[in-house]
A = this chain, B = another copy of it.
Amino acid sequence: MGTARPGPSVTSRALAILGAIDERHPRQTLSELSERAGLPLSTTHRLVAELVAWGALERDADGRYVVGRRLWQLGTLAPVHRGLREIAVAPMQDLYAVTHENVHLAVRSDVAALYVERIYGASSVALVSRPGAKLPLHATGVGKVLLAHAPTDVIDRVLSNLTSVTRYTITESGRMARELAAIRRLGYAGTSEEMTLGTCSVAVPIRDDAGEVVASLGLVTRTVRRDLAKFVPALNVAAAAITRGLREEAAADAFRSTE
């Protein structure tokens, strides 16, 4: 480990450059990458050239660096995207065909709702969520479902930090705790302008074969909150189809591993 440049730190420098690109900074100049990665310009230049050669980064028409096609293709192989998403898309599509509302699929990623897939059409409301985006658990329908079924320590951490997104976001921990209990009892969660003014949401849990809540399926709509419950049966039919798909995949996996 006494060599001039130990391997680990070089890898972490390359990863620091990739990490400098995020949702709010999807296009970066070389000097922006250098600054955000905390690396000298010369090091950044050299590592960026390697990342471009491999296809992890590309240059756009303005010469700024963006995520490359090869990295995107590799990302599509992630199980979070592939297994659940591929099973869920057809039931989500059916739900969209019936409701014509935005249909979402999210999983919990620590204290955030990570949006895995979204189906929407020209008549659906405009949204902040998109695949790959993370939104607060306490302000979204899918997030509340995931929070209601999260381990106690996650619930505690979220309840101790209920930030306000709109003036309707629930920021009082006692009220949110009671709402989470109601979500577990009723089997669905609703929001009313808690994430975005003018939109409401309704969501149900998706369980795996063992009954664990592994994801949440939700609709975002302009419908007022008191009418949201009408969507619950349709959501539950689609959620059941996804659970069935996960069970079949688990059975196929078990079969493969005994081959």
Contacts and interface: CB of A to CB of B under 8 A. Distances in A.
A67 B71 contact: no
A168 interface: no
A75 B82 CA distance: 13
A132 B43 CA distance: 31
Interface residues on A, range: 35 or more
Contact of A50 (B12, B18, B68, B71): B12
A229 B23 CA distance: 41
Contacts of A50: 8, 11-12, 15
A77 B73 contact: no
A130 to B, nearest CB: 7
Given A75-B75, A78-B68, A12 B114 contact: no
B74 A81 contact: no
Interface in A123-157: 124, 130-132, 134
Contacts of A97: 97, 121
A75 B74 CA distance: 8
Nearest to A93: B121
Nearest to A131: B76
B4 A72 contact: no
A9 to B, nearest CB: 9
Nearest to A17: B11
A69 interface: yes
**Which of the listed residues A15, A72, A81, A257 has the most CB atoms from chain B within 10 Å of its own CB?**
A72
A62 interface: yes
Interface of A: 3-8, 10-15, 18-19, 21-23, 26, 43, 46-47, 50-51, 54, 56, 58, 60, 62, 66-69, 71-82, 86, 89-91, 93-94, 96-97, 109, 114, 119-122, 124, 130-132, 134, 257
Please list the 4 inter-chain residue pairs (A to B) with the smallest Cβ-Cβ separation, ordered nearest first. A75-B75, A76-B132, A72-B78, A3-B4
13 contacts: A4-B5, A7-B46, A11-B51, A22-B77, A62-B257, A67-B74, A67-B75, A67-B78, A72-B132, A75-B75, A76-B132, A91-B122, A93-B119
Given A7-B10, A7-B13, 5 more contacts: A5-B5, A7-B43, A7-B47, A14-B14, A22-B74
